[in-house]
Structure 1
Amino acid sequence: MEGSKEALIELAHYKMPFGKYKGEYLVAIPEYYYTWFKQKGFPEGKLGRMMLQMHDIKINGLEELIYNIQREFKR
């Protein structure tokens, strides 16, 4: 359970390292961007896994959960 908590905190504070949304928190990136990546293929590795998770969060309307984590667990 503790690993899941840490993973969510990391996801909440992770910023896009490239492209149009470089430097933006993943949660702040529009859903359509993730949908496009889902069709074309997410990047390999950690970033791709986080983007897929964020896609799932966004399509289920759970962004507020991530914003709450950002506020509660400052970095």
Structure 2
Amino acid sequence: AKKPASKPAAKPAAKPAAKAPAPKAEKKGAAKAPAPKAAAPAPKAAAAAPKPAVRDAKQRSDAANHNGL
């Protein structure tokens, strides 16, 4: 009576405790770590290239309009 009572009580308590925190930690870590890393470099690289060109064009057109050219 002691063995069956202790085994079922220990297994269900241990399995949910081990299964629940592990997937949550993995999902949070996987979602937080790769997503920002993958998303950060692309926008920075894409934003760094077009913005200076657009700013230069806008400044040139603004200067031309102000100068009457």
| TM-score, with structure 2 as normaliser | 0.24
More contact order relative to length (CA 8 Å, sep ≥ 6) = 1
Where is the helix percentage greater, Structure 1 or Structure 2? 2
| TM-score, with structure 1 as normaliser | 0.22
* CA radius of gyration, larger in: 2
